[in-house]
Structures are given as C-alpha cells and as structure tokens.
Structure 1
Amino acid sequence: MAAVALLGLSGWFITGAALAGAAGAGAVATFNYLTPSATIRLFAILRTVSRYLERVAGHEAALAALSRLRPALFRALAKSPPQTALALSAGEASARLVEDVDAIQTLFIRRSAPFALGAGAAVSVGLAALTHPFCAVVIATVMALSVRGGLSIARRHAEPAGRATQTALGRLKDVSSSLAAAVPELRAYGLEAWAEASVAQEADALERARHGVRVAEGQMQAWQSACLAVGTVGALATAVLGGATSPMAALAALVAVTGVEATGGLVQALLQSGSARAALDRLDELPVQDEDVVGRGKPVGARVGVAGLDLDLVPPMRLGLARVSGCGKTSLLERLMRLRPPLPGELRLGGAPVEAADTDMVRDRFAYAAQKVSLLDGSVRQNLALARAEATEAEMWSALEDAVLAARVRESGQGLDMPIGSGGDRLSGGERRRLSLARAYLRPASWLVLDEPTEGLDAATEEQVLRRLDARLRATGQGLIMVSHRAAGLTLCDRVVLVEGQDTSGALRLRLRGGQRELA
C-alpha cells in the first residue's frame, strides 16, 4: 500500500512542481510543496519498514516450520516400518530431508502474496478513481488479466517443470550417493567412465527440467511486461480523455505501474508452486508419526525366546549364532530388534511375540554393533554420541578402552575430536569396526548384540577385544547375542545355536548346541 501511494503521489508531485515552475514565479510562490514532500517521506519510511518486517516475519515462519519439520521427518524415517525405511536409498532420503524441505519454504514465505496483491489493488484502484472512474476500471482489469495469465502459465508450464525438477533432483542424488559409496570398486574394475556417464545422464535430466522452469519464468515476465505496458498506456489515455490534469494523469500512469507490479509476488509464488507441490507429495509419502503416541506401548521385558528351541534367555546369559555366511543369522537379529518385519511367532521378547510389541520398546532393549559399519563424517566424539548424547568423556574413553581403540585415538593428538573422514575412511577396517563396537558399549540396554565383532582383526587384537568384552559384560550385567563364524568369539557364549538355512517362508532352521567345547 505504501509503495503504490508513494509512486502515485511522487508522479503527481513531480509533474505538478514542473508545471508550477514553468508557469512562473507567481505559481511557484503559491505551490504547496511542504505537505506532499512530507507525505512522500512518510510513505517511503512506511514502505521500507513494512517490507523489512514482512521479510522477517516470512523467513521466521519458514525457518521455524523447517526447524520442526526436518527432525520430525528424520524421526519418521527412524521409527517407520523397515519395509518403508529400507526402500529409500541414502540419496533419496537425503533429497527429501534437504531439497524437498527447502522447496516448500516458499509456501510460508509467499503466504502473504494474496494479501499484498489485495492491498496493492485496493490502493491502485482507489487512487485511479480520483482521476477518472474508467481509469480505475482499466487498472483493475489489467491486474486481473496479469493474475489470470500467470495462473495459466503456471498450470501449463511451471508446475509440470517444477515437479520434474524435484523428481530429477532426487534421482541424481540417489545415483550419485550409490556410486560414491562404491568408488573403490569402480576404480578397481575400471568403471569410472561409466559412473561419470551415469551421473551426467541424471544431471542432464535435471538441467532439462530446470530449463522448463526458466522458460516458464520468461513467459511470466513477458506476460507481466505486456500487462504493464497496456495498463500504463490505458490508464494514461483514459485519464487524458477524461479531462484529468497533467499531474493527475501522471498519478494514474504510475499507479497502473505499481498496480501491475503488485501481482508480482503472487506470480513468483505460482512459478515455484510446482516444485513446492511435488516436494509436499514426496514428503507425504513418508509415514510421519504423531509424537503424542510414539513410545506409548506396553513396556517390554528382556526375556528372549526362539520358536522351535528349548531356549529362554535373560541377561546376563550369552548366546552365539554360528554357521557359514549367508544362512540368515543377521536377518534373524534384525527381526528380533524390529529392524526387519518379524515373522509371526518366530521370536518372543518379554514373553510376548515380537511382532505384537511396540517398536520403540523393542529397540530400547538392544545395543547393536552391525556387521556393516556406518559412521558419520565427523569426529570420534560425534560418532560415539549417536549411542548416548549425554555420555561423559570418561564414559567414552572407557568404551574406547574396552574396544581396544583408545591408544589409537590418543596418538592422534586430538583426542575425542579426532576426525575420522567420510564413512571413517581415515581409519582402517578393523578400527572402524572397533569404533562401532565402542558406540554399542555406550548404549544402556539389556542386550548387547554383536554381528561379527572381530571380523578383520588379527589374532592378538581379537584376543584383547574378547577379553575386555568379557570383563565389560561381567561388570554391566548385560546379556550378549553374538553372530560369529570364528571359534574365539563363541568361547564367550553359554549356548550356541547352529543356523542351518531357511525354509520357504524365510524362517530359519535352528539347532541348539552347548558351549564352544560341544560345538567343536
């Protein structure tokens, strides 16, 4: 409103002052320049301050919403059914948490666009009516045409291109992250050129989609320019033909300019609506849970039972799973911890079927060091804090000592702040595994679940890790469930289950043995 009034009054004032100056000293002496000049300054200050407040309010709304949305989406992925979470690649999940969330912030920033358009239209038409009623009709008509044309271009061109952009961006991140994770293998087999071509193909698709958005933007700008020209000429002609004075005719022309420009915010929002709507659709595919109902299940006991075996385990008992690779040992553990969909009746926890228990309650019972090690591109401290953010430095050092990694961290000179690189690439394979083991040690849980914890370690290091693991279990009273094909690890276990394969339903054929001596 201040912008429209400022430009209209300025046009009237400058034209009136010019005519007064041309009329001679007498006209100048009688011309009142104090009131309009003061009013112009008032409108200039109002425009500046209100625009600043509008930007602050809009960005505060967007950032506040995004700061709540990203953690909610991350929790949704972490707590969602495994078939949902595992169906998303790392690149696709990243695209939804980053680019898709960024795309919808325009919905908040542009929320005020219709109100700004309404205010601009009211002031423009009102000031034009002071010149001539038909002048107001011309400006209102041109503004309506500007909005109608913008809507048409958005629906036909901008929205499809915006949707294609979000989809192509997700595919590019998916392919890029998958290939980045396999860089050593790609180099070993000489497939760098193929990988580059695969990424380039997805990047080209993204650029084509973005080109469509830019074309739509150009069409909108061209349409607005045409409306601006028609509105300005039409308002000026109507004012002159209606007998308006030159200052009033100038007011009408400039009011037409700002009136059409008032539609710019809404048109810009329409340009970005395709990307925003596509991002919303992609985010809606994630099953966001209501925080008020998460974790309200019945508490789950720590007793573990396995169907078909005379086996009922409670901490501090220790169970080993043995046999050759690929027979389903890891899958059994993941079904027990609800990282995979459990099979009906296969496993029990706290005397109840695992599939009937609350997922959060089930996972709270276990501290897990997986066979596939996943580490953040950060410091040792940050990776350990994933298990328990409030863990003290003393507790972290104790976990590193028990994982036989403390000496390596101390030697770095940076202590717990030692960076480990992307995926832990500054560490050896055995060091990455032991850091994952130390992280599991920090999590307070009834059961410690270890999947091949000594894989890749030399015999001396393996002996140290197992000796400290035994001492830690005695101190904490935790139970142990360990998958291993190495005899040394199974010596810690009270009972050993031999995994002999799977039936057609995916259930494992298990045979219960005694300790390491009977297994041998």
Structure 2
Amino acid sequence: MALGMLLAACTTLTGAALLGLSGWFITATAIAGLSSAAALAFNVFTPSAGIRLLALGRTASRYGERLVTHAATLAALVDVRERLFRAFARPLAARPWQLRPARLLFRLTRDLDAAESLYLRLLVPLCAALAMTLGMAGWLAWLSPWLGLAALLWLLATGLGISGWLLRSSARLSAEQMRLTEQLRTRMSDLCAGQTDLLMAGQYEARRQQLLAAERRLARLDDRLQQRDAMAGWTWQALHSATLAAALLAGSWLVWQGRIGAASAALLALMVLAATEAFAALRRGAQDWGRALLSARRLQAPLQAGGTAGGPPSLPAPPAGMALQMRDARALLRPEAGGRFSAGVTLQIAEGERVALVGPSGCGKSTLLALACGERRPAQGHIAALPACWLTQRTELFQDSLRGNLNLQERPLDDAQLMQGLRDAGLAELVAERQGGLDCLLGEGGLGLSGGQARRLALARLLLSQQRFWLLDEPTEGIDAEVAHDVLQRLAAHIGTRTVLMATHLRREARLASRLIELAPGGRILADVRHGDAAYDDLLRRLRPD
C-alpha cells in the first residue's frame, strides 16, 4: 500500500512536470521563432527529450500505481473477508443474524466493498495531492520564498478545505444512504421470499408500499448527495480559475522583476494548474467517507473477535474407552437472554453405546449435542469427547453438483465410494435417473430433491464420514413414515460399533438406543435408564408414537 501511494505521488509529479515542460517548450519555441538568430541558437533536443522521458515515466508510474494499489486492495479484502468468514463461523457467532440473513450477507459483501474507499479513493489521492503541493511550493520557494509559502497555504486551504467540507456535509447522508440501502434490500428479499404468505394474509400491497416509500427516501438522499457533489465541483472550478489567474499574475510579476522569462511564466501557470487538479480526485473519497466509516465500525467487532485458523472446533480427548465425558457442564440456552442450564450436566458415554436424549421441545437436547461436538463451548464445567459427525435437524444443501453436496470436506473419495454411500442411503436410483450422474446440479437449497431425498443425502454424508462418534438430531423428523423407517433401518445396519448420541422425541428413533436419558426444561437430567429396565419401557411408551 505504501508503494502504491509512492507511485501515485510520482505519477502526479511527473504529470505536472510534463504539462509544465510542454508549455515552456511551446512558448520558448514561439519566442525563438521571432528572430532567425534566436531560432538557430535554440536547443530543441534537450526539452523534447525531457518531454519524452516524462511521458514514458508518467505512463510507467501510472501503470505501476494502478497495478500495485489494486493488487494491494484486493489482497487486503481477501484477507479481511477470510477473517470475517472465520469470525462468523465461530460457535454462536451468527446466531444474532439468523432472523436477518440478508444483513449477514451485506456485511460480507457491501460493507467490504465500501471499506476499499478508505485506501483507493482517499489515502492514495490525498498522498498524491500533498506530494504535488509540497513539490510545487518548494519550486516556487526557490524563485521567491514568499511566493512558495503563499502557494503552500493557498493550495492546502482550498484543496483540503473543499474536501473537508464535502466530507463533513455528506458523511451523515452517505451513512444513512448505506443503512437505507440495506433496509431496502432486506425488504425486497423478504417481499420476494414471502410473497405467497403475504398474499394469503392480505399484507402484500402494504409491504410493497413500504418498499416503494423506502425507495423514494433513498432517491431523495441520492439527490442531496448529488447536490453537494455538484456544489463541490462548482467551487473547485471557481477556485481553480482564481488560482490560475493568481498564477498568471505571479508569473507576470516575476517576469517584470526579471527573475524568470516568459516561457518560465507559462511553466509556472501550468504547474499551478496541475497542482489544483491533484485535489479534485479527493471528491469521490470525501463523499464516500461516511459510508466507509460506517462499514469499518460494523466490521470492527467480528474482526476483533477473529476466528481459528484450523479446521472444525476440537475438544480434549476423553479417557480410554469413553466417547464423551461431561462434568458439571453448563451452556447458555438463549445467549441473548442470558439463560443457562439450571443444573450442571454430568454425563459419561462409553465407546459403542447408543444413547437417546428425550424430553420436551426446548429442554436443551440440541444444545447438548452442540456441546458434545464442540460447536458450542460450555460456560462452565468440563467436556471431553471423540471427534464427532453431526446430523443436524436441517439438511443443509447448496447450489452445487450432487458430488459437491455429498463430499463437503473434499476428501479424496472416488466415484465408487460416493456411489456406495448413495446406495447405502437408498439414493442410487436418483443418480441413475438424472443426467450427469454425480455431476448433476442441484438448485439453491437442494432444489430438485424431495424432503425424503434430501434427508437420505444427509444420511449418505454421515455414512461416508470416518468418525466413530455419531450425533443424530431428530434424524427422521419431517419425512413420511415409510421413508423414515427405511432411513432408520439403514442407520441401524451401518452403526456397527460406532457410538451414537441421538436427540429425539419419537418412539421409532428411540428404539435404536440401548440407553435413554430424559431431560427436563433447562437441561437437568431426570432419568438415565438402560434397555431391559422397566423404566426404559415406560419412558419409551411416553414418547410420541410412530
């Protein structure tokens, strides 16, 4: 980034020198042409060589500036975006965004795009403008110290003054524009995704009018920002003309004093003209300052939180022969409300056991599974567990090929292994029916698969995993009984010696377990019974029937 700013300063200085030397050369050539003696004595080679050298230097520095500054910006954005993804991938980090996923996407896209203005449109032009001002003032000070000081103060006052005014006057407006743009996109997304429900509730037209009202407010903000930009542009032109007139007067005074010639006076006027142009590039950055500052503030918290550079979260290994060991483990059931487990959970599961967590909805079954795989950290207590594979309640599918959805970890699995996993899950016929086989594409969210097929695909992922510890969160919820029984039979056939911890409230799923643990609201363990006990059969009967 520092090299980019240095190249920008070189580009501005060589451009000003090229403009000034070209004006000097044209003026000096015209004066020399007034007499044949002066024309014969005039040296055209040195200034023409200087012009070519400056032209080549300006072209090279401009190319280098664009290459270096954009490469540095893109590299920085890649780094920041990766840090953001890691930060939002931390346990519970994205929970506040679940109801507004559009805002999370906005942070990862639009906020980062706005942040690039800080460097490309503000720091780089500012560095170039200051370098030009100092260079111009130093050259004029060599001719006249008072003239150099006056030029320095005037250029800084006008250039930074207009930029500062535009920055202050548009900061609030541009920040509000960004907030309103986010609201508009969120409402548009909600309107498109929920139009059926809104029509059924008779609220579609009201929501559409709200969207149009937000769009009109955004248009008014755009108009106000354009007015400020136009006012800044008009002021630039007026001061630009005044500066040029002052430069012509100063050059005439130096010629009258005999300190410089007429050609040098032309050089002075054109150099001052280039110096004022250097500040004009700050207009865009000054207008985007509010937007960039708001983006930086939004991204500050997740960037400071950071994320681990490794793979998935890991837990300490349990003692030999154990798959899971919890001692007085407490977790936040609702982090936004500060709720905790009412009592610490102490639990041990040996390798090869099949355990089912049962209890009413909201009692903490899924939270306990998240603790068991390290997706959530305990607020208190100790947890040690073997690496686990978690079959969650929702089947997360992506707009990708069947192969990509099946092998999310991109492990070195050949087609035969992938097809075996699909056959074990009962999806071999689906692959045979689809053109492209494993490379056939699924729509967004797995569009093109039924609910049962999506659940079978998740089961195939589980069967292909190498972990010996399976976590199952209501594996057959939401699918019809026939498909559910088939999925459970396939699960039972492939469990073997693996350890299973399952959250369920269905009798058909709990039958897979040899041990039932009943949880009360808040996560307290009410009962821990094993197959063959009378309490086991009684607890099984109290579960929801198939």
Q: TM-score, normalised by structure 1?
A: 0.84
CA contact (8 A) 1:146 1:223 kept: no
Matches within 5 A, 1:147-162: 147-162=159-174
CA contact (8 A) 2:24 2:263 kept: yes
How big is each residue's C-alpha offset from its partner over 1:300-330, in whole Å with a ceiling of 9 and x where there is no partner? 3232458789953123211223455555533
Is residue 45 from structure 1 mapped to residue 56 from structure 2 by the alignment?
A: yes
Provide the residue aligned with 1:288 in structure 2: 305
How big is each residue's C-alpha offset from its partner over 1:24-48, in whole Å with a ceiling of 9 and x where there is no partner? 5554433332222221111111111
Of 296, 299, 318 in structure 1, the residue corresponding to residue 316 of structure 2 is: 299
Of 77, 90, 93 in structure 2, the residue corresponding to residue 66 of structure 1 is: 77
Of 326, 329, 333 in structure 1, the residue corresponding to residue 369 of structure 2 is: 333
Is residue 427 from structure 1 mapped to residue 462 from structure 2 by the alignment?
A: no
Secondary structure of 2:357 counterpart: strand
Query: Please, which runs of 5 or more residues in structure 1 have no aligned partner?
Result: 351-361
Is residue 373 from structure 1 mapped to residue 382 from structure 2 by the alignment?
A: no
Of 29, 45, 50 in structure 2, the residue corresponding to residue 17 of structure 1 is: 29
C-alpha distance in 2 between matches for 1:199 and 1:395: 50
Is residue 85 from structure 1 mapped to residue 94 from structure 2 by the alignment?
A: yes
State, as a whole percentage, how many aligned pairs show the same letter.
30
Secondary structure of 1:511 counterpart: strand
C-alpha distance in 2 between matches for 1:173 and 1:391: 40
Distance apart, 1:75 and its partner CA: 0.8
Is residue 246 from structure 1 mapped to residue 262 from structure 2 by the alignment?
A: yes
Is residue 275 from structure 1 mapped to residue 272 from structure 2 by the alignment?
A: no
Matches within 5 A, 1:96-135: 96-109=107-120, 110-128=122-140, 135=147
Is residue 142 from structure 1 mapped to residue 145 from structure 2 by the alignment?
A: no
CA contact (8 A) 1:127 1:255 kept: no
Secondary structure of 2:527 counterpart: strand
Provide the residue aligned with 1:312 in structure 2: 348
Instruction: Give the 3 Å change call, closer, same or farther, for CA 13–290 of structure 1 in structure 2.
Output: same
Distance apart, 1:60 and its partner CA: 1.0
Q: Name the aligned partner's letter for residue 303 of structure 1.
A: L
C-alpha distance in 2 between matches for 1:191 and 1:511: 48
Instruction: Give the 3 Å change call, closer, same or farther, for CA 9–214 of structure 1 in structure 2.
Output: same
Distance apart, 1:156 and its partner CA: 1.9
Instruction: Give the 3 Å change call, closer, same or farther, for CA 208–340 of structure 1 in structure 2.
Output: farther
Q: Which moved more, 1:7-16 or 1:26-35?
A: 26-35
Q: TM-score, normalised by structure 2?
A: 0.80
C-alpha distance in 2 between matches for 1:389 and 1:212: 54
CA contact (8 A) 2:86 2:308 kept: no
Secondary structure of 2:305 counterpart: coil
Of 448, 457, 480 in structure 1, the residue corresponding to residue 479 of structure 2 is: 457
Provide the residue aligned with 1:258 in structure 2: 274
C-alpha distance in 2 between matches for 1:396 and 1:190: 47
Is residue 489 from structure 1 mapped to residue 509 from structure 2 by the alignment?
A: yes
Distance apart, 1:427 and its partner CA: 1.8
Is residue 8 from structure 1 mapped to residue 44 from structure 2 by the alignment?
A: no
Distance apart, 1:181 and its partner CA: 4.8
C-alpha distance in 2 between matches for 1:47 and 1:471: 73
Provide the residue aligned with 2:336 in structure 1: none
Secondary structure of 2:477 counterpart: coil
CA contact (8 A) 1:8 1:255 kept: yes
Q: Which moved more, 1:321-330 or 1:304-313?
A: 304-313
Secondary structure of 2:399 counterpart: coil
Distance apart, 1:204 and its partner CA: 4.5
C-alpha distance in 1 between matches for 2:60 and 2:475: 62
Provide the residue aligned with 2:338 in structure 1: none
CA contact (8 A) 2:84 2:306 kept: no
Query: Please, which runs of 5 or more residues in structure 2 have no aligned partner?
Result: 1-12, 329-342, 542-546
Matches within 5 A, 1:107-256: 107-109=118-120, 110-128=122-140, 135-242=147-254, 243=256, 245-256=261-272
CA contact (8 A) 1:379 1:417 kept: yes
Distance apart, 1:56 and its partner CA: 0.7
CA contact (8 A) 1:484 1:490 kept: yes
Instruction: Give the 3 Å change call, closer, same or farther, for CA 85–393 of structure 1 in structure 2.
Output: same
CA contact (8 A) 2:397 2:446 kept: yes
Q: Which moved more, 1:123-132 or 1:135-144?
A: 123-132
Q: Name the aligned partner's letter for residue 320 of structure 1.
A: A
